[in-house]
Amino acid sequence: MSLQFVIDGLLTGSMIGLGAIGVTLTYSILRFSNFAHGDFMAWGTYATLAVVSAIGATFGKVAPIAPLSFGWPLLVALVVGMAFTALLALLLDRVLFSRLRSQGQAIIVVMASFGASMALRSLLEFTFTSRPTYFSRAIQIAMPVGFGIRITPDQIALLLLTAVLVLGVHLLMTRTQTGRAMQALSQNAALARIVGIDVASVVRVTWIIGGALACVAGVMIGILVQIRPFMGFDMLLPMFAAAILGGIGSIPGAVLGGLIIGLAEAGAVQLIGAEWRAAVSFIILMAVLFVRPIGLFGVRER
Amino acid sequence: MIDLIGYGAFFLTTALIFSLVTLGLNLQWGLTGLFNVGLAGFVAIGAYTSALLTTPDDAARLGGFGLPILVGWLGAMVVGGIAAALTGMATLRLRSDYLAITTFGVAVVVQLVALNAQKLTGGPFGIGFIPRPFGSLAEKPLLFNLSNLAVVAAVTLVAYLALEHLSRSPWGRVLKALREDERAAISLGKSARFYRVQAFAVGGAIMALAGALQAHFTGFIAPDNYLPILTFQVWVMLIVGGSGSNLGAVIGSILVWGIWAGSGTLTSVLFAPEQQARAASLQIVAIGVMLCIILLIRPNGLFGDRLLRPRLGKRAKVTTAKSSSGS
Amino acid sequence: MSETVLDVRDLEAGYEPGVPIVRGASITVRKSEIVVVLGPNGAGKSSFIKAIAGLVPITGGTVLLDGKDITAAPAHTMVRLGLAFVPQTENIFQLMSVEDNLKVACGILERREIPARIDEMYAAFPDLMRQRRTAAGNLSGGQRQMLAVARALIVHPKVLVLDEPSAGLSPKFVSMVFEMLAGIRKSGVTILLVEQNAKAALAIGDRAYVLVEGKDRHEGIASELWNDPVVAELYLGQRPSHASKGGVA
Ligand SMILES: Nc1ncnc2c1ncn2[C@@H]1O[C@H](COP(=O)(O)OP(=O)(O)OP(=O)(O)O)[C@@H](O)[C@H]1O
Ligand SMILES: [Mg+2]
């Protein structure tokens, strides 16, 4: 068995982990599993792609940054895409989720997110068709790094980006007043209001972080794999499994869960074949639910 | 005219098969409050089980066993029921969202097996030559369609009456009580979970039966029939009809299937052939938006009786805290 | 007579429409006073102060804080308005450290003020200082109440409102909590206190009200109320005592 699966697994795991952060935050703070989260990913990616094309149309062809396959337009577009996805999440909350939440219908919100997911995805299919597209068709040369492992510059850059983002979110959650307010709200919503936390503003921050990270995860998939309307929906099960494996509400848990599932998927692809990949997260999910439903870093069941 | 009757019969047959799935979902969600977003998986399990049991022997895959159609249907219900029971046992002691995620996973895995386990399911090309109840009548389309309708209508009616009876029985009253009153559910503890597993299993069996009916009605199945869109359609049917009401489930199914088929016809008339796939996705957008709007403005649908309440909300937590410290 | 801090007039409140739990209750709390609200189980004492704190929908009456109308202000704005509330149960964030519990309550303060305020609380509650890194859920019952009170005091509220701070504590901690409250009042903080432990509460209180069926039925000087036959009557012949509450773990 080649060790290449480690790199593949870490990359897949990064995408899953970044997505799972949003899932776990929504779950612990808004108390519902958001089936539209995968579609935030896809929408963010298409938004980024649109901005890249717009920049290309305005400034002509821009040379990529040295060893990478992409140049500054993608970086600019990513930031725009993150903002766009955050806004999309806020909008969906405003018109749909917050209204159902105020009626106290926890599980109805889940169903609404399922309906929203369907509509969002199909809207993408309508606009961009279901044909896959790419940020760049350039083929990158993978460099050998020993132990039979090869890695491309893009892959290195994206792994670093993931590490920076995860660290950033972790610091935000543990070191800032906003992060403490989020923790407080997820632990005890009534007490959070008593100590002066404005629930509405914390909810907004939650959507912004979740949406922005979903966009990054989607763009990673776009750079390393391909862009399709279903790209996010297919990530849903791994993301839920990662969030539950890590322990709902835990950011490090979501990321670690993502990496474990990514590695397991990559290993399974090598051993059994790519067609069974999607079953891996299901098996891990079932194992967690049977053995330790609170997950690795979970503290108690809510 | 004959054509129209034939089409009407065909339409109603499909709509009634959907009704059967919706009735199963109504038992799970409407009556018991269990959230199933992977029902396409249970429908597929039924279809494949029955196909496997009843098709003539095929060298390319396991079986078929050439058994009578009724055995196929029974087998479908048993396997679908067991699959649902297992899913329920894994998740029903946990928060309701976990059931949602797990059922979603079940659908993904079933889809995967249907696509990849060629030896069992025929892979992407599916299974053909599934015997039809009135196959000998296939020469006379009208008679064939009408007899199909009769069979499906009979099965749906039996299921409907049985479910009506069940929901009025002591068993059904316990389920309703569990749905409305978390306190009762908690005080019943383990046995509450057992009731819920039973309801989930029976619902799964009904869905599987619907899948089997559909398979024998079209004579051919493939993984594409069981995509998430199916789950979504059935949910819209139940919500439109009103969760909690069996009559609502049936009428909602016919209504939504009518809208669906009608808008499908409309898009095929309005859009050029190369635009059809895109138009179809617009159809899904419309239905998705419709679901959200109904949830917002009329969560009880047309006939719903549900006193909507979160299954595990703050209140439940408060009650448990009180009862555990008070004694 | 010193100035009025909290003035509640004819308050009506309830959880569900048409089911009033608080039915026209009025109280006044003056500066640097400890005012005690007593009453039998289920009288609506908790609901009454929760309504004041913005946690139960108010259907009638007014709440004035320092002359300002705060009736039905959203709960999360109460701290800023000067009212800090300590609920009876679940009054700390169990998974957060002691220090984070204090910090999270500092949302209305300037960032540079926060370290000094935390030190102030540590000076007042040395136990908390020693346990600053401990998850709050691992504290003893008495220390939890300390943390909950410190968390409320850290913003220097105009009035501190507490719901049965002694409930569920062992006798040793009960006396500790009441000593703590007496000490806090000495430093000039105004306190509104709901208690089942009437004897201990009246011992540290200045004035007291008896709430029955959601209405204030009797008012008096705390030290005189203990032997007041009307009070005993309102408790349905029972002597108000902690024992009536039953053992709570
Ligand atoms: N969250 C709630 N929803 C609905 N009704 C409630 C709620 N909390 C309390 N009640 C009802 O309000 C009434 C008064 O309860 P409350 O807790 O205010 O009384 P209390 O005087 O504080 O009693 P105790 O001495 O037991 O603390 C009770 O009848 C109770 O059932
Ligand atoms: Mg009380």
Q: pLDDT tens digits for A79-129?
A: 999 999 999 999 999 999 998 888 776 778 888 898 899 999 999 999 998
Closest residue by Cα to residue C177 from C231, C106, C247, C125: C125
Nearest CA in chain C to A198: C76
C248 within ligand 1 shell (Cβ under 6 A): no
Compare A3 and B199 and report the one with higher pLDDT.
B199
Q: What pLDDT sits at residue C238? A: 52
Q: How confident is the model at residue C226 (pLDDT cuts 50, 70, 90)?
A: confident
Residue B104 to residue A289, Cβ atoms within 8 A: no
Does the distance separating the beta carbons of B101 and A285 come in below 8 Å?
yes
For the Cβ of C138 lying below 6 angstroms from any atom of ligand 1, the answer is no
| Average pLDDT value for residue range B277-291 | 83
Q: Tell me the nearest-neighbour CA distance from A153 into chain B, angstroms.
A: 33
Of C74, C87, C104, the CB nearest to A184: C104
Nearest to C90 among A191, A195, A299 (CB): A191
| Percent of chain C whose pLDDT exceeds 70 | 94
Residue A231: the pLDDT is: 94
Contacts of C55 in chain A (CB under 8 A): 190, 193-194
Q: Is the pLDDT of residue C241 over 60?
A: no
CA distance C198 to chain A (A): 26
Higher-confidence position of C235 and B39: B39
Domains of chain C plus CATH, in order, are: 1-78+161-169+192-249 (3.40.50.300), 83-156 (no CATH)
Q: Which domains does chain A have, with CATH numbers?
A: 4-291 (1.10.3470)
DSSP state string for A132-177: -B-S--PPPPPEE-STT-EE-HHHHHHHHHHHHHHHHHHHHHHHSH
Residue of C nearest to B327 (CA): C248
The pairing of beta strand A150-151 with beta strand C4-13: unpaired
How many interface pairs between A and C have CB atoms less than 8 angstroms apart?
A: 68
Q: For residue B128, is pLDDT > 90?
A: no
Sheet architecture: strand order including C34-38? C83-86, C159-163, C190-194, C34-38, C207-212, C215-221
Q: Which of the four pLDDT bands, split at 50, 70 and 90, describes residue B325?
A: very low
Structure tokens at B105: 């996973």
Chain A hits for B25, Cβ within 8 Å: none
In which band, very low, low, confident or very high, does the pLDDT at B133 lie, cut at 50, 70 and 90?
Answer: confident
**Residue that wins the pLDDT comparison between C248 and B162:** B162
Indicate the Cα dihedral angle B180, B181, B186, B188, nearest 10°. -80
C197 C-alpha to ligand 1 centroid (Å): 17
pLDDT attached to residue B186: 66
Task: Give the Å distance between the CA of A127 and the centre of ligand 1.
Answer: 55
More confident of the two residues B5 and C32: C32
Verify whether the Cβ–Cβ distance C93 to A188 is below 8 Å: yes
Choosing from C12, C46, C241 the residue with most ligand 1 atoms within 8 A of its CB, the one to mutate for a pocket test is C46
**Which of these ranges, A176-180, B92-96, C84-88, C172-176, has the smallest mean pLDDT?**
B92-96
Mean pLDDT value of segment C178-192: 92
Is the pLDDT higher at B60 or at A165? A165
* pLDDT score of A95: 92
Comparing B21 with B283, the larger pLDDT belongs to B21
Q: Tell me: the pLDDT tens digits for A140-152?
A: 788 888 788 888 9
Closest CA in chain B for residue A273 = B116
C45 lines ligand 1 (CB under 6 A): yes
pLDDT of residue C230: 75
Q: Does C109 touch chain A (CB under 8 A)?
A: no
How much is the pLDDT for C131? Answer: 94
What is the pLDDT at residue B183? 66
> Does C56 have pLDDT greater than 80?
yes
SS3 state of residue B60:
coil
The 10s digit of each residue's pLDDT in A228-264 is: 999 999 999 999 999 999 998 889 999 999 999 999 9
3-state secondary structure of A227: strand
| pLDDT band for position C242 (cuts 50, 70, 90) | very low
Cα A38 to Cα A26: distance, rounded to the nearest angstrom: 13
Is pLDDT above 70 for B96? yes
Residue B49's pLDDT band (boundaries 50, 70, 90)? very high
For residue B189, with 0-12 CB atoms within 10 Å meaning exposed, 13-18 middle and 19 or more buried, which class applies? exposed
Q: Got the DSSP string for chain C?
A: -PPEEEEEEEEEE-SBTTB-SEEEEEEEEETT-EEEEE--TTSSHHHHHHHHTTSS-EEEEEEEETTEE-TT--GGGHHHHTEEEE-SSS-S-TTSBHHHHHHHTTTTS-GGGHHHHHHHHHHH-HHHHHTTTSBGGGS-HHHHHHHHHHHHHTT--SEEEEE-TTTT--HHHHHHHHHHHHHHHHTT-EEEEE-S-HHHHHHH-SEEEEEETTEEEEEEEHHHHTT-HHHHHHTTTPPP-GGGG----
Query: CB-CB: which of C54, C95, C104 is closest to A195?
Result: C104
Is the CB of residue C41 below 6 angstroms from any atom belonging to ligand 1?
yes
Residue B170 has pLDDT above 90, yes or no: no
C117 within ligand 1 shell (Cβ under 6 A) = no
- Residue that wins the pLDDT comparison between A63 and B253: B253
Residue A274: pLDDT band with limits 50, 70, 90: confident
pLDDT of residue B184: 67
pLDDT tens-digit map of C135-144: 999 999 889 9
Q: Would the ipTM clear 0.85, i.e. be above it?
A: yes
pLDDT at A205: 96
Mean pLDDT of chain B: 84
Closest to A237 measured CA to CA, from C115, B104, B132, B234: B104
Question: Which chains would you list as touching B if contact means 3+ CB atom pairs under 8 Å?
Answer: A, C
**How far apart are the CA of C47 and the nearest CA of chain B, in angstroms?**
15
From chain A residues 267-286, the ones with a CB under 8 A of any chain B CB are 275-276, 278-279, 281-282, 285-286
Distance from CA of B309 to the nearest CA of A (A): 6
Interface mutation target, options A180, A182, A191, chain C, most CBs of C under 10 Å: A191
Mean confidence (pLDDT) of chain A: 91
Confidence of residue C247 (pLDDT cuts 50, 70, 90): very low
User: Domains, chain B, ranges and CATH?
Assistant: 2-326 (1.10.3470)
pLDDT digit string (tens) for B288-297? 888 888 888 8
Amino acid at B99: L
- Which 179-208 residues of chain A touch chain C by CB within 8 A? 180-181, 183-184, 187-188, 190-199
Locate all alpha helices (DSSP H) within chain A, ordered by sequence. 4-25, 37-59, 72-92, 98-102, 106-128, 153-175, 177-187, 189-194, 199-224, 236-246, 251-271, 277-291
**Interchain CB contact of C141 with B (< 8 Å):** no
